[in-house]
Amino acid sequence: MELGLGGKVAVITGGTQGIGKATAIRLAAEGARVVICARGQPLLESTAAEIRAAGGTVHAVSADVSKPEDCARIVAETLSAFGGIDILVNNAGTSATGEFESATDDVWQADFDLKLFGAIRLIRLAVAHMKARGGGRIVNLANIGAKQPGARTMPTTVTRAAGLAMTKALSKEYAPHNILVNAVCIGLIRAGQHDRRAAQRGIDTEAMYQEMGKNVPLGRVGRAEEAANVIAFLVSDAASFVTGSSVNLDGGASAVF
């Protein structure tokens, strides 16, 4: 399938680990010029080097997407490096869940700032440049709990539900500008956040993934490359009539579409 991504400029937040890294590698392999951002400098450098070694074009920005000034710098550096923006993948994020009564205002605010306001600010900054190029693609990462929130899943499920509402509203607002906006609802994917949790708990990472996969209908946890495949499709020419949609990427785990 021809994805038509050659020469496109794609910003991927959180592009140094897990799903974001796999997406950056995939889009760069398809010929896109990619901008990756994250807070940690060593992984930014090693990921950029990996993409360049494979023949890709990449610009790395050290940034925290929960800070407005860093969002502005991501867009400014993208314009300066590559002259425009065609694709924005709002991927940076992590899980924040627990007992409702133990989540303070600061915990809620931090989750909104990272996973909702980061996307709001970057989209607001990027759309003018997408309009100028005759269109664009935005993919917002979410989780399957956004549509079926369970006990002790906040603030993540609330933040993600807001992200899905924003995705749908933006898809309608920007359709006249050929800016297509979609979401991917992740179930369980092998990634840095799970690896770090295993290390913190002193448990074997592979054994943990085996255990996590038992409750997934396909019998396993997904791979970051499998998420990257879906994101690459959504930002490609092949998905030119897809907007305002959310794709469950969960091996069948979700009870709802």
Q: Which residues contact ligand NAP (rule: CB under 6 A)?
A: 13-14, 16-20, 37-40, 43, 63-66, 91-95, 114, 141, 143, 186, 188-189, 191-193
Give the dihedral of Cα atoms 14, 168, 7, 231; nearest 10 deg: 60
CA angle 110, 114, 115 (to 5 degrees): 115
Nearest approach, Cβ of residue 157 and ligand NAP (Å)? 10
Nearest approach, Cβ of residue 212 and ligand NAP (Å)? 9
> Is 19:229 a contact under the CB 8 Å cutoff?
no
Q: 107 CB contacts (<8 Å, ≥6 apart)?
A: 96, 98, 155
For ligand NAP, the closer of residues 135 and 192 by Cβ is 192
- Please tell me the distance from the alpha carbon of residue 257 to that of residue 200, in angstroms, as a whole number: 34
Nearest approach, Cβ of residue 39 and ligand NAP (Å)? 3
Coil, helix or strand at residue 253: coil
For 230, the token pair is 């879906």
For ligand NAP, the closer of residues 63 and 130 by Cβ is 63
> Is 137:179 a contact under the CB 8 Å cutoff?
yes
> Is 250:187 a contact under the CB 8 Å cutoff?
yes
For ligand NAP, the closer of residues 37 and 162 by Cβ is 37
Nearest approach, Cβ of residue 208 and ligand NAP (Å)? 12
For ligand NAP, the closer of residues 9 and 228 by Cβ is 228
Coil, helix or strand at residue 134: coil
Nearest approach, Cβ of residue 188 and ligand NAP (Å)? 4
For ligand NAP, the closer of residues 46 and 241 by Cβ is 46
